[in-house]
Amino acid sequence: MHLRNVEIFCEVVTRRSFSKAAEVFGVSQSAASQAVMQLEKRLNTTLLDRSKRPFELTQAGEIYYQGCRDLISQFREIEDRVQQIGNKVTGRIRIAAIYSVVLSDLEQVARAYRQAYPDVHLNIEYLHPSVVYERLDEDECELGLVSFPERASDFQVIPLDQEPIVVAVPMGHPFCDRTSLQVKDLDGQRFIGFSTALRIRREIDRWLRQHNVSISMVHEFDNVENVKRDVEIGSGISLLPAPTLKREVQTGTLHALQLEDAHWFRPIAILHRKGRTLNSATTRFVEMLQASKSAQALASGHSPSFATHGTIQAGSQAQAMMDQNASLKPVAAKAAARSLEEDAEKTVSVASLTTT
Amino acid sequence: MHLRNVEIFCEVVTRRSFSKAAEVFGVSQSAASQAVMQLEKRLNTTLLDRSKRPFELTQAGEIYYQGCRDLISQFREIEDRVQQIGNKVTGRIRIAAIYSVVLSDLEQVARAYRQAYPDVHLNIEYLHPSVVYERLDEDECELGLVSFPERASDFQVIPLDQEPIVVAVPMGHPFCDRTSLQVKDLDGQRFIGFSTALRIRREIDRWLRQHNVSISMVHEFDNVENVKRDVEIGSGISLLPAPTLKREVQTGTLHALQLEDAHWFRPIAILHRKGRTLNSATTRFVEMLQASKSAQALASGHSPSFATHGTIQAGSQAQAMMDQNASLKPVAAKAAARSLEEDAEKTVSVASLTTT
DNA sequence: TAAAAATACTCCATAGGTATTTTAT
DNA sequence: ATAAAATACCTATGGAGTATTTTTA
């Protein structure tokens, strides 16, 4: 009996889907189906009630699932402990990130990480904030990447970044001539914003209120991509975290303006369950993320948290912020090279934890 | 990665031998070797230091073994819980019995059990008493069968039987004419006995002393088979538990005589670790063992513990005691038949827990 | 030298893929 | 009608056996 079948079963159950689970493990839907059927054959029981869609767990399935979930994570922990002796990094990291975490950033770190630790199965999913918290709650991911982290008692919060909030304006907008604005300039503008369900919207509302600025919210979206598209077609302007505008500024489809007299930031943080000790693979990923942020800060000549200290930079700072990522690549690449050398000294072929 | 490989690895470690472990799992030595090597390949580590004989665990191997041992028993427990829903009995029972537990008895129950629960992997080993306790201590067996159970605080003691002690005499011995003896008749006899390391020897010594009978111990052995052989060739007589003489009396190579004025018994008990809750397979086995004893008692017209109540039977009681087993067969067979029917109603092929 | 484990080589079972059918909404 | 899961079928991998070599005490 393959332990992998048990893993697949658990994934099938948590995802309530064979195909989704199959995807996670990089196998065909057929394989996932067969894996579960094999378990059922071995136990001579039916674990899932397939007469419903989505399927339901049978009593046996419930017991099996509850038991095996723990078991598998225990097993992973043992394997991790063994690997630590040889300073090897293997295992699995599942990351649940909010949509608006700058993809290029995270993906760049991920690429570097995969190169540095090819034996780690790294999986990143971009989800709605509430789903990210769900995933963490259900122990279905090792790390969560969120903005405005809620300080729930059972999550460990690791601050990662403070993203400056800048003004996004469409090309051709009167503001385009300027490189920075005052908050009062925003008064009376047509705004594209986030839906009130999102924390960032509530923060922005609060900030504007504090500055006695009133805007007219013409459109609301629950994700940053739609906001940007709407700004691009001239529906209005918006307040957005600088890094989320990187691509649009580079391609010249949007203009970003710094606010001179506001120190508004979107805090980004890494979350993980307090109960579960992070395996070394995950620890390394966190370190790499933090390192990439420090490198960015260094390159742009300020600490990531400079704003909280009130230092105000002059000139086209918003622009500089958006170019931060340029510095990441060499740093990550170096880390990757070093680690690969280390591995090469000891071994040629390294079996992957989850694919063998 | 097969979970079975982990099981094999653990067995290899506890037995400190690939071949022994292979035997336990009913596979070739080669397979056991390959199983461990596969784990090592997956972990990309060496778990065993094979440059020593017997091999030693590496640091990694130690960690892996310690972790997996628990894990596997947890996994078994989960599977057992799942099976209990369908009233199915699967799993593994490893029994460590002392040499002198009447083989025919235990083996008959085992045969009936295997028929009743074909999906249980039942393994019985006959060992020196001290090794039985070791096995229990190391959690390397589910049940121990011993005589004169030590009441260690971490073992649960289930009394199973009280075997009457009878006098074994060779054919042609003066006692052969008689059907029973008095204790005083033993005075001055040449005796074949157990080595003083065995509890039964110390008990017999004590009994004889209490009756002011002195014998001359001419030979000592640490197992009952040698004692019997020595009595057969006329070296002397002996005091032995009645059931151990069954075969010899039937084949007429030895004579067994009851003692009229002594109520000497060898208590047989089942032991198991208090920590570990018995799985249902093991519980059933215990029940079947107890049932077989009750059936014997019924057939021979007395309760197994009758002697403790002082009832003395007349006539060739020793003979009757030795025929007890005759009644076991039908009872066990019936139980087997019933259970097979039950299973047949639900399923045709049942995968074995440990062989799939 | 003897016993135990590793290895070479082989065969067969089966895991898992693709393509298709079945099933539940 | 559609999306998802089960199934049929096929292939390639690898699990496990026998026979042999290697290794350690």
Residue A187 has pLDDT above 60, yes or no: yes
- Is residue A202 in some structural domain? yes
B55 CA, D25 C1': Å apart: 12
Mean pLDDT of all residues in B69-93: 89
- Of A180-194, B45-59, B207-221, give the lowest mean pLDDT range: B45-59
Mean pLDDT (whole number) for B186-198: 94
The domain that holds B190 is classified in CATH as 3.40.190.290
Whether B143 and B216 map to the same domain: the answer is no
Of the candidates A247, A242, A260, A255, the residue with the CA atom closest to the CA atom of residue A304: A242
Positions 12-51 of A with beta carbon below 7 A from strand C are 27-31, 34-35, 38, 50-51
pLDDT of residue B353: 26
* DSSP-derived 3-state class of residue A252: coil
Lowest pLDDT segment from B77-81, B149-153, B210-214: B149-153
Q: Is residue A80 part of a domain?
A: yes
Shared-domain flag, residues B144 and B271: yes
Q: Which two tokens stand for residue A3?
A: 């332990």
Q: Residue A41: list chain B partners with CB under 8 A.
A: 351
- Mean pLDDT on A62-67: 93
Task: Select from A150, A128, A132 the least CA-distant residue to A222.
Answer: A128
CA A354-B3-B9 angle, 5° bins: 110
Residues of A in contact with B86 (CB under 8 A): 44-45, 60
Please check whether residue A278 lies inside any domain of the structure.
no
Distance A27 CA to C11 C1' (A): 27
* Domain range for A21: 1-86
CATH number at residue B52: 1.10.10.10
Residues with CB under 7 A from strand D: A 16-20, 29-30, 33-34, 36-37, 48, 50, 53-55; B 2, 4-5, 26-31, 34-35, 38, 50-53
Total-model pTM: 0.73
- A296: confidence class by pLDDT, cuts 50, 70, 90: confident
Spatial CA neighbour of A164 closest among A99, A245, A219: A245
Same domain? For A173 and A258 the reply is yes
If residue B274 lies in a helix (H) or strand (E), which one and from where to where?
none
A2 touches chain B (CB under 8 A): yes
Chain B residues touching residue A67 (CB < 8 angstroms): 74-75, 77-78, 81
The three-class DSSP label of residue B193 is strand
Interval A168-190 mean pLDDT? 92
- Select from B83, B112, B142 the last residue of a domain: B83
Higher-scoring residue by pLDDT: B338, B209:
B209
Say if the Cβ atoms of A44 and B81 lie within 8 Å: no
Instruction: Give A337's pLDDT tier (boundaries 50, 70, 90).
Output: very low
Contact B74 A67 (CB under 8 A): yes
Alpha-carbon torsion (B316, B322, B326, B329), positive or negative = positive
CB–CB of B85 and A42 under 8 A? no
DSSP secondary structure string for all residues of B280-332? HHHHHHHHHHHHHHHHHHHHTTS-TTGGGGT----SSHHHHHHHGGGGHHHHH
Same domain, yes or no: B168 and B233 = yes
- Are B297 and B277 contained in the same domain? yes
Q: Do the chains contact at B1 and A42, CB–CB below 8 Å? A: no
Q: Is the pLDDT of residue A281 over 80?
A: yes
Q: Is residue B186 part of a domain?
A: yes
- Strand boundaries in chain A, DSSP class E: 48-49, 56-57, 91-98, 120-127, 143-147, 155-170, 180-181, 190-194, 216-221, 238-241, 254-259, 265-273
Whether residue A280 is contained in a domain is answered as no
pLDDT at position B274: 87
Out of A209, A233, A262, pick the residue that ends a domain: A262
How would residue B301 be classed by pLDDT, with cut points 50, 70 and 90?
Answer: low
Residues 109-138, chain B, touching A (beta carbon < 8 A): none
Q: Give the rounded percent of residues in chain A with a pLDDT score beyond 90.
A: 54
Domains contained in chain B, number: 3
Give the Cα separation of B299 and B324 in Å (integer): 7
Residues B279 and B147 in one domain: yes
Mean pLDDT in chain B? 81
- CB within 8 Å: B74 and A63: no
Q: Is B334 on the interface with A (CB under 8 A)?
A: no
Residue B95: CATH number of its domain: 3.40.190.10
Q: Report the pLDDT value the prediction gives residue B139, as an integer from 0 to 100.
A: 84
- Chain B residues whose CB is inside 8 A of the A344 CB are none
- Rounded Cα gap, residues B118 and B340, in angstroms: 9
- Look at residue A304 and tell me if it is in a domain: no
The answer to whether position A170 is within a domain reads yes
Do A306 and A164 contact (CB within 8 A), yes or no? no
Q: Does B168 share its domain with B256?
A: yes
Q: What pLDDT digit, counting tens, does each position of A299-333 carry?
A: 665 444 333 333 333 334 444 444 443 333 333 33
Could you tell me if B264 lies within 8 Å of chain A, comparing CB atoms?
Answer: no
Residues B204 and B172 in one domain: yes
Q: What are phi and psi of A47, to 5 degrees?
A: -90, -30
Q: Is residue B323 part of a domain?
A: no
Strand B48-49 relative to strand B265-273, pairing:
unpaired
The set of residues, in sequence order, having a beta carbon less than 8 Å from that of A150 and lying 6+ positions away, is: A133
B259 shares a domain with B128: no
Q: Kindly determine whether residue B82 and residue A45, on different chains, have CB atoms separated by under 8 Å.
A: yes
Instruction: Select from A67, A86, A105 the last residue of a domain.
Output: A86
Task: Give the chain A residue whose CA is nearest to the CA of B63.
Answer: A82
On whether both B7 and B72 belong to a single domain, the answer is yes
Q: Which nucleotide's C1' sits nearest to the alpha carbon of B27?
A: D16
One domain for residues B152 and B271:
yes
Are A351 and B44 within 8 A, CB to CB?
A: yes
Q: What is the pLDDT of residue B277?
A: 81
Distance A350 CA to C22 C1' (A): 41
B141 and B272 part of one domain: yes
- Please name the residues in contact with A23: beta carbons below 8 A apart, sequence gap of 6 or more: none
